[in-house]
A = this chain, B = another copy of it.
Amino acid sequence: MNLRELAQHLGLSKTTVSRALNGFSEVNEETRLRVQEAARRFNYTPNISAKRLATGESGAFGVVLPGASSEMADPVFAEFLAGLADGAGRCGRDLYVNATFDGEEAGYRRLARAKAVDVMILANLKVEDLRIRLLSHLGLQAVTCGRTAGSLVYPHLDIDHEDGVRRAVDLLTGLGHRAIALVSGPADLSASEQRMVGWHTALDRRGLTAEAGLFMAGPATEDHGYRATRALLALPTVPTAFLCASMFLASGCCRAIGDCGLRIGRDVSVIAHDDGLATIRPEAFEPALTTTK
Contact residues of A with B, CB < 8 Å? 43-50, 52-53, 58, 65, 69-70, 72-75, 77-79, 81-82, 85-90, 94-102, 107, 110, 113-116, 222-223, 277-280, 284
Contact = CB atoms under 8 A, between A and B. Distances in A.
Contacts of A65: 82, 85-86
A222 B247 CA distance: 14
Which 7 residue pairs of A and B lie closest in terms of their CB atoms, listed nearest first? A78-B78, A45-B113, A85-B99, A86-B99, A73-B278, A49-B52, A75-B75
A79 B72 contact: yes
A46 B115 CA distance: 9
B85 A79 contact: no
Chain multiplicity (copies)? 2
A90 B101 contact: yes
Given A45-B113, A96-B96, A74 B78 contact: yes
Contact of A284 (B50, B99, B223): B223
Contacts of A75: 73, 75, 78, 279
Given A48-B116, A94-B98, A114-B45, A78 B89 contact: no
Contacts of A114: 45-48
Contact of A97 (B79, B97, B222, B284): B97
Contact of A222 (B45, B46, B284): B284
A271 to B, nearest CB: 21
Nearest to A116: B48
Contacts of A46: 114
Nearest to A69: B278
A89 B113 CA distance: 15
